[in-house]
Chain A
Amino acid sequence: MINFNKFYKLFNILSLSLVIISILLLFFKGLNLGVDFKGGTLIELRANDKKINVTTLRYAFGNMTLGDINVKKFGNERDFLIKIEKKDTSAKALEIIKKNLTDSIGSSFNFRRVENVGPKVSSELLKSGIIAIVLSLAAMLFYIWIRFEWQFSLGAILALFHDVIITLGFFSLFNLEINLSIVAAVLTIVGYSMNDTVVIFDRVRENLIKFSDIKIFELTNISINETLSRTIITSVTTLLALISIYFFGGEILKGFSLAMIMGVVFGTYSSIYIANPILVKLRVSQKTILKEDTE
């Protein structure tokens, strides 16, 4: 048996500092919002000429007076991703870009993907993305409130916030782009983190009924250990799936799978080191459950 409870304090301090750092990052550095949420144009193109590199493209686009431009390599040597802030959605804008590009570099290009999001749509998408995340947190809160006593709900929700905030903080720190699929990832993280916490809580509650003489500090540790191999196996299989998406699923899914990998790692960790210590702090005992039942 591993004594997880010995490190409750240590990891709580670590988590707290990570959360604070993440919040500070989100507050001061902010998130790198993609075209979906900020509006603008995104072009993925493949150059037919191997000599083309980021510098030549950056120079060519720089000459078109399109406003803020971001050029980067996308996957292999010949693929590039260009982000343009200018919110021109007119039918001609793209035609002009294509023509200018061929004029200045002379090589033919293959426009693999074009996304053009107007300012109105992007702000709507941002709003619905935030609503979706808030709504899912609220739904989880509601679910766990029905299923468990309030002490458990608080623990699970704090663990959830912990995971979401740190994942977002990570994206802020490394300036990774937030787009629609990241929102999907965050929602799935919410589901996963909850799922992981609930499995341990289920066991805690079962053990609370079984052993009236064991203190919650010990009891959480027993429960964590009893469910530990499940926790590890499920995390490993989920991570195996995610890692294969990350490495083989193509460039478009990279951000999504990275966010999910972060979420699974933190979700597993927080179930042990956030959710359970909260039960200890709140002095949950057999009475907590029995009282609820007699009401």
Chain B
Amino acid sequence: MLYFSKLRITLISLVTLFFIYITFSNFQESENSFISKKINLGLDLQGGSYLLLEIDNNPVKLQKLQNTISIIRNYLKDKKIVFTDLRIKDEAIFFNISKPDNEIVKFFFLDKESEINPYYNLYKSHQFDLSVIENEFKLTISKYGLIEIKTSSQDQAIEIVRRRVDEVGTNEPNIIKRGNNRILVELPGLDDPMRIKSLLGKTANLTFRFVAQKNNDTFGVEMLPFEDGSNEVLVNKRIILNGENLLDAQPQMNNQTNETVVSFTLDRVGAKRFGKATRTGIGKQLAIVLDGKIVSAPVIRDAIVSGSGQISGNFTFQSATDLALLLRSGALPAPLNIIEERTVGPELGQDSINAGFFALSIGFLLVIIFMFFKYKVFGLIANITLLINLFLLIGILTIFEATLTLPGIAGIILTVGMAVDANVLIFERIKEESKKEKNNIIAFDTGYIKSKTAILDANITTLIAAIILFFMGSGPVKGFSVTLAVGIFTTLFSVYFIARMLTSLYVLKNKKKVDLI
């Protein structure tokens, strides 16, 4: 038990030196060191913003129902089936069809090849659930239909969010999906997320529509407010153009009016449509509607066939820049709500790092002083082990490029306090054994063997707590569980290899000494 071969001693020393090197590479600026890995600092340490966005899928669901209702209408008309009372109510589509046609219609909906009710092979389910009571048909979005809607709007939304954040140009943003209706945005180094928050808070649904003269247009009209809240105007529901037809948008200074405007370029289809609409609509007012509010409603003076134009609307340079950015990056499929925000300024982050490392040094110092006075030579061994343990811990966190948070630093300090436990268990056991056993080597061997179960138990219980915390905890707390868990493994390694090696070297040299410990 006590004997360590030369090979083992060399191996252990090499591993230790390697981790010491890794640990110090964290503090080196040079790029060309052969390991360029570094511990990531969490947002709470480097400063930054954490935003959790939730997609409001209700408008998407409603849109889906509206699209489906027109598909059904066309389909039934096409097949010359008489239907009545086709409507949307309580997130469901209702309609009545009397016998004998209803059996045929049922088949349309429940067939796997159905054109109006797509079948997902993956889920073995249709997009809609159908229930028929006598002559009344009721279609509700099925469980899997809803999942399909959610994941597809999440996929679209994350793309748009990414574009908008990239356009603002923050360094290394982290944008990931959470569940099927949330998006997590981490913005390191950003101490005021105001601009990004307001950019993400807009759907940026742009439409060009005519201002209606009368109330009797075939497509219907709606009353829309101006952005500045000054007025309300009746606007046609028919959309001439929308944001999808935009190729580019840029803020610009209009030389004639000295006004900041947003100039845009349309794609081929959009240019054609815009040209046609402006030609026929000379003298009419064209409303530029963004998210249900009118930005401006200029009067059309000439036909615009060039496929480019300008939006004016009392912009400052900043607001014109933002609008252009939103238009370039495209519209969100659904509104996003910020449901959680955590922002830490860089100053507090640095303060936390300083406090954390100060506490670590003090804690470490207190523990090693205590251990030295308690165990003398063996205290020294325990302290060397503890220091190496610290290097191993930080080294492993570096290799895995783990994220270090403030609670994570607390976890390291706690590890320092608890890591000596294993050595203490062993030393105390050896003390007991050497009262009965005069042979030092046997006493040490027995001490190591008999303390093993207690040490394993002690560490496994802490590991269980750390693992649960890892899976249930979030953000900074997760960092705590990581350092705690890694700390357990490095503790076991350093106690059973390094401390044991050092004690064995010492004991073998002092075989005959009485009251060795």
Q: Which A residues fall within an 8 A CB radius of B?
A: 44, 46, 89-92, 94-95, 110-118, 120-121, 125, 128-129, 131-132, 135-136, 139-140, 143, 147, 180-181, 183-184, 187-188, 190-192, 194-195, 198-199, 202-203, 206, 226-227, 229-230, 233-234, 236-245, 247-250, 252-253, 256-257, 260
Contacts and interface: CB of A to CB of B under 8 A. Distances in A.
A181 B348 contact: no
A256 B465 contact: no
The 3 closest A-B pairs by CB, nearest first: A241-B417, A191-B465, A132-B472
B356 A132 contact: no
B476 interface: yes
A90 B459 CA distance: 45
B476 A180 contact: yes
Contact of A136 (B355, B360, B417, B465): B465
Given A121-B339, A188-B465, A230 B425 contact: yes
B352 A250 contact: yes
Contacts of B409: 249
B457 A117 contact: no
A192 B461 CA distance: 8
A120 B78 CA distance: 46
Nearest to B488: A191
Interface in B311-349: 337-345, 347-348
B340 A118 contact: yes
Contacts of A249: 355-356, 358-359, 409-410, 413
Interface stretch (B30-38, B285-293, B477-485): B477-485
B414 A241 contact: yes
Interface size band for B: 35 or more
Given A44-B348, A136-B464, A184 B477 contact: yes
B377 interface: no
Contacts of A229: 428
A272 B474 CA distance: 34
B394 interface: no
Nearest to A139: B464
Contacts of B358: 248-249
B457 A135 contact: no
A195 B476 contact: no
A248 to B, nearest CB: 4
30 contacts: A112-B345, A120-B339, A128-B474, A129-B472, A132-B468, A132-B472, A132-B473, A136-B464, A136-B465, A139-B464, A140-B461, A140-B465, A143-B461, A181-B476, A184-B477, A188-B462, A195-B421, A195-B459, A206-B450, A233-B424, A239-B417, A240-B363, A241-B363, A241-B414, A248-B355, A248-B358, A249-B409, A250-B355, A253-B355, A253-B359
A114 B473 contact: no
A216 to B, nearest CB: 20
B418 A227 contact: no
A139 B370 contact: no
Given A112-B347, A184-B481, 10 more contacts: A46-B347, A120-B339, A136-B464, A147-B457, A183-B477, A199-B458, A234-B418, A241-B418, A252-B352, A253-B406
Given A115-B342, A121-B340, A131-B472, A94 B363 contact: no
B105 interface: no
Contact of A250 (B347, B351, B475): B351
A244 B366 contact: yes
Contacts of A199: 425, 454, 457-458
Nearest to A250: B355
Given A188-B414, A240-B370, A250-B352, A245 B363 contact: yes
A115 B420 contact: no
B196 to A, nearest CB: 9
Given A121-B340, A183-B477, A230-B428, A242 B464 contact: no
Contact of B472 (A135, A202, A206, A239): A135
B477 A244 contact: no
Interface in B435-488: 450, 453-454, 457-466, 468-469, 472-477, 480-481, 484
Specify the main secondary structure of chain A where it touches its partner. helix
A191 B464 contact: yes
B180 to A, nearest CB: 15
B421 A257 contact: no
A84 to B, nearest CB: 13
Given A113-B344, A115-B342, A199-B454, A194 B461 contact: yes
Contacts of B414: 188, 238, 241-242, 245, 260
A248 B362 contact: yes
B199 to A, nearest CB: 9
A121 B352 contact: no
A233 B374 contact: yes
Given A184-B480, A234-B418, A245-B363, A115 B341 contact: yes
Contacts of B192: 111
A248 B359 contact: yes
B198 interface: yes
A270 B249 CA distance: 69
A239 B453 CA distance: 24
Contact of A116 (B201, B340, B416): B340
A188 B343 contact: no
B132 to A, nearest CB: 36
B226 to A, nearest CB: 19
Contacts of B484: 188
Contacts of A131: 472
Contact of A91 (B54, B201, B352, B480): B201
A113 B469 contact: no
B387 interface: no
B432 A226 contact: yes
Contact of B477 (A92, A181, A241): A181
Given A184-B480, A250-B352, A143 B194 contact: no
Contacts of B476: 180-181
B266 interface: no
Nearest to A112: B348
A95 B195 CA distance: 10
Contacts of A192: 418, 462
* Of listed A94, A243, A250, residue having the most chain B CB within 10 A: A250
A143 B481 contact: no
B407 interface: yes
A236 B370 contact: yes
B465 to A, nearest CB: 3
